[in-house]
Amino acid sequence: MFSRSGVSERTFIAIKPDGVQRHLVGEIVRRFERKGFKLVGAVCCVQASEELLKEHYIDLRDRPFYGRLVKYMSSGPVVAMVWQGLDVVRMARTMIGETNPAESKPGTIRGDFCIEVGKNVIHGSDSVESAQKEISLWFHPEELMCWEDAAERWIYE
């Protein structure tokens, strides 16, 4: 996990059921690719189990919307991905926008494609620690690819 400019981190990104149903997968992947991040793991159209989702969202278990969130996330296929790059967790969160789409700036994924919090198209890890936890929940280590991206020399100093 090293790039020309030093240690590179990974983040977990999931396109939620509404994003899959609305055919936004290609557009979202394109944005991460155009930014210069490297896709190192993907599970397309997985039906997440309630057990996995309860563990994934365990930090929200005391919130009133927790049950609805788990039900919504298990209502259809999701696309689970691991992206790698310099400062990818922070930069991905910026690209995604605010949890509440009404507070998201135009040009962000949620700012461009969402209206309500309950249907906000995409999940992104909020810290390096949560990214590591989420990646380990959704992927086995052998499912993550280490590959040399020829474009890195044009992205990193």
DSSP class of residue 88 equals H
Q: Is 99 annotated as a binding residue?
A: yes
Is residue 123 annotated as a catalytic residue, yes or no? yes
List domains and CATH numbers for the chain: 6-46+78-145 (3.30.70.141)
Q: Which residue has the higher pLDDT, 69 or 7?
A: 69
pLDDT of 15 strictly over 90: yes
pLDDT, one tens digit per residue, over 20-74 is: 999 999 999 999 999 999 999 999 999 999 999 999 999 999 999 999 999 999 9
Q: Is 108 annotated as a binding residue?
A: no
Residue 5 pLDDT class (50, 70, 90 cuts): very low
Cα atoms in the Cβ-side hemisphere of radius 13 Å centred on 133: 14
Active site residue: 23, 56, 123, 140, which one?
A: 123
Q: Is 120 annotated as a binding residue?
A: yes
The pTM for the full model equals: 0.91
